[in-house]
Amino acid sequence: MCGIFGYTGRTQVLPILLEGLRALEYRGYDSAGIFIPGAGAFKEVGAVHNLINELPDDLTGTSGIGHMRWATHGKPTRKNAHPHRGAHGHVWVVHNGIVENYKALKARLEEEGHTFESETDTEVIAHLIEKEAGDACLTGEALARALSHVRGAYGIAVIDARCPDVLFAARWGSPITVGVGEEGMFVSSDPTALLPHTRSAVYLEDGEYAVLTPREYRIFTFDQQARAPVVSPLDWDPEDLKKEGYETYLLKEIMEGPEVLKNSVRGRLVPEEGRAVLGGIERFADELRALRHLTIVACGTAFYAGLYGKYLIEELTDIHVDVEAASEFRYRRMVHRPHSAVLAITQSGETADTLESVKEAKRKGFLTLGIVNVVGSSITRITDAGIYNHAGPEISVASTKAYLSQLEVLALLALFLARQREMGEAEGEVLAREMLALPEKVAAVLARREEVCALAARWKDARDFLFLARKGNVGVAYEGALKLKEITYVHAEGYAAGELKHGPLAMIDRHFPTIAVVLQDSVYEKNVSTLEEIKAREGPVIAVVTEGDTVVREIADAVVEVPAVSEHLSPMVSVVPLHLFAYYMGRARGLDVDRPRNLAKSVTVE
C-alpha cells in the first residue's frame, strides 16, 4: 500500500516530488524518501513534513523518484525507507508491493558478495537491476531481465544515476500510471497524484515497463514488444483533492454524501419508465436476464455494502446472492454454475484479495462484474463489465462516501435486474423516485451533525460498543462498528439484533453502550423489544430512529432522527449518523481521523 512517484522533465523536480508524495500520504506514512541524481537520497520516518525538515536548501535536479511507505518487511525506520540503491549506488528504486522470494534472492546475492543496508525486500530489487545493468546505463532489457527473477507483486520506479534523465517504471500486480505532461513525464502508483500536472494517463498492465525521458515515453512488455500506449483522460478536478475548507478529508467526504448520491445515479435512472440504465453492463443484458446466482466479493467496508446488495437483490428478484469476503473467497473451491456471475465491489479497484478473487473467478469461467470508484484501476481492467461509482477521489483512509455510493449503485443494479424480471413499471417508478429523493434526506441528517457530535463527546471514553440492526440494515451495523474501530481504535461489534439474546447480551451492562438502527419498518417492533432487553440490563442505548418517533425516545438514552425512507433504501440514510459518530468520537479523542494508525487506503498486498 505504498505510494510511489517519479518525474523526469525540464523543471526542478523537488517541489514536484514533494507535492506528489503529499498526495500519496494516505497510502502509507511510515516513512518518506526521495532520490535526485546529482543531489542524493533523503529519507525520514513519518510523513512528508518530517522529510522536508531534513532536506538541504540547495537541492536541484530535473529528475527523481519518491516514496511513501506502509511497512511490510522491516520496521518503519530511516534505514528501511525507500528509495533503495544497488550495490554501487548507481540504480535507485521505489517499490509498492511484496517480493515473495526476496529471501532466496538476497541469499544468492550475498553469496556473490552483495551487502545490504536494510531489512526490506525492495533493496533486493535494486541490487538485481544494477547487477543486470552492469557497467553501462540501465536499459529496458536489463530491467526486464532483473525482474524475471522476482516473484510477488510490484509497481516500481527506477533511476540510474549514470543516465539521470531516463526514468523507468514497471508493473506486476501493483498499479502504475504514467502521466504524460507538458513539462515532462510522471509515474505514480495512484493517478490522482498526477492531477496537478497532467490529465493524460497511460496505465501499465502486468508484465509491462515504461521508459520515460523529458520529452517522450515508450511502453514495452517484459519480452521487449513495444506496446502502442492508450492515453486515458484523468477526469477528476485537482480541487477535489483539497479539503475545501473542511478540517479533515473524512468530514469533507461525509458531507459530500448528497452530492455523491446524485453523481452515482446521474444519467442512470428513467423514473417515468421505472428503470435503471447501466451502460457499463448493458452488453451483458441477456446473461443478466438469465442470471440465477450472484456471488459478491469484497473486503472491509465494501463487503458490508455487499450485504445490502444481497438483501435488496433477493428482495426484488429470484436471484440467489452470496456475499463473500474476498480474502477467503479467493481460496474457495469455486464451482461455476450455469447462469452465475461474480461481482467485485471495491473503491480503489486495487485491493489484492479482491483482484485475486476476480482473476480466479475468470479462470473458472464466471461472468465477472465490478462496482469500482477509481477509473482505470486494475479490477476495472480485468472484469468483463462494471459500473463506476463516480464518487470522486476518496482520500480519507476510512471509506464513507464510497460506501454510500456502493449502496446506491447496488440499488441501481437491483432495480435493473428486477425490471428484467417480474417488477412492473409502476413499482420501478416508485423505487426510482425514492432513490432520487435520497440526497435531500441525507442532507437533512447531516444538518443534525451537531447532535451526533454531542453524543460522541458524551460517550467518547467508552471502551466497547455494540451496533445492532435487522434485515437490510445489518450491513450498516457492521459498517458502523468498523468505522468506529478504524477511526477511534475502540472495540466495537456489529451484530444482527436478533442474535443478541444468543450470547452477546451477556456483555451488556451500564459501561457497554449499544447503537441501534430502529426505523419504522417491517421489523420495528422486534427492534423495540431488543432495546428493552438491553435497558433491562442497564445498557446505554443510542438509537437511529425515524423522524417523529415517540416510542423509542422513551426507551433509549439518546436518539438521532432521520427522515422517513423506504425500507428498501434506508441503509443510505441510517449509516450517516454512524459515520458522523465515528468521526466526532475520533476528533474528541484527538486522533488523526484521516490517517488511522496501522492502516492504509488501498490494501494492495495480501
Interface with ligand AGP (CB under 6 A): 299-302, 346-348, 351, 354, 397-399, 486, 602-603
Other beta carbons within 10 Å of 570: 26
**DSSP run (H or E) holding 449:** helix 449-458
Distance CA 25, CA 77 (A): 16
Catalytic site residue from 43, 131, 252, 601: 601
Q: Which is nearer to ligand AGP, 346 or 514 (CB)?
A: 346
Least distance from ligand AGP to the Cβ atom of residue 44, Å: 25
Distance CA 225, CA 228 (A): 10
Give the pairing of strands 200-203 and 232-233: antiparallel
Helix (H, G, I), strand (E, B) or coil at 514: strand
Distance CA 295, CA 292 (A): 10
E-only strand ranges, 392-518: 464-469, 491-496, 514-518
Other beta carbons within 10 Å of 553: 13
Least distance from ligand AGP to the Cβ atom of residue 393, Å: 12
User: Per the omega criterion (within 30 degrees of 0), is the bond before 338 cis?
Assistant: no
Q: Which is nearer to ligand AGP, 109 or 302 (CB)?
A: 302
Q: Which is nearer to ligand AGP, 278 or 603 (CB)?
A: 603
Q: Which is nearer to ligand AGP, 248 or 347 (CB)?
A: 347
Cell numbers 458502523 correspond to what residue?
480
Do the beta carbons of residue 206 and residue 223 sit within 8 Å?
Answer: no
Taking alpha carbons only, the member of 411, 390, 395 closest to residue 260 is 390
Q: Which is nearer to ligand AGP, 44 or 253 (CB)?
A: 253
Q: Which is nearer to ligand AGP, 396 or 520 (CB)?
A: 396
The amino acid present at 162, given as its one-letter code, is R
- What sign results for the dihedral spanned by CA atoms 7, 100, 379, 592? negative
Least distance from ligand AGP to the Cβ atom of residue 546, Å: 27
Least distance from ligand AGP to the Cβ atom of residue 324, Å: 14
Cell numbers 419504522 correspond to what residue?
520
Q: Which is nearer to ligand AGP, 122 or 347 (CB)?
A: 347
Distance CA 208, CA 66 (A): 21
Q: Which is nearer to ligand AGP, 8 or 347 (CB)?
A: 347
Helix (H, G, I), strand (E, B) or coil at 452: helix
Least distance from ligand AGP to the Cβ atom of residue 221, Å: 27
- DSSP symbol at 173: B
CA angle 393, 399, 402 (to 5 degrees): 55
Catalytic site residue from 2, 131, 310, 441: 2
Least distance from ligand AGP to the Cβ atom of residue 165, Å: 35
Minimal CB distance residue for ligand AGP:
300
Report in angstroms the alpha-carbon separations of 238 from 6, 168, 197, 392, 393: 18, 26, 9, 11, 10
- DSSP symbol at 566: -
- DSSP symbol at 28: -
Distance CA 451, CA 476 (A): 20
Least distance from ligand AGP to the Cβ atom of residue 484, Å: 11
Give the residues across from 502 on adjacent strands. none
Q: Which is nearer to ligand AGP, 43 or 401 (CB)?
A: 401
Least distance from ligand AGP to the Cβ atom of residue 299, Å: 4
CA angle 498, 501, 506 (to 5 degrees): 140
Distance CA 206, CA 386 (A): 20
Catalytic status, residue 163: no
Q: Is 221 left (phi over 0), alpha (psi -120 to 50) or beta?
A: beta
Catalytic status, residue 460: no
Least distance from ligand AGP to the Cβ atom of residue 343, Å: 13
List the catalytic residues. Answer: 2, 601
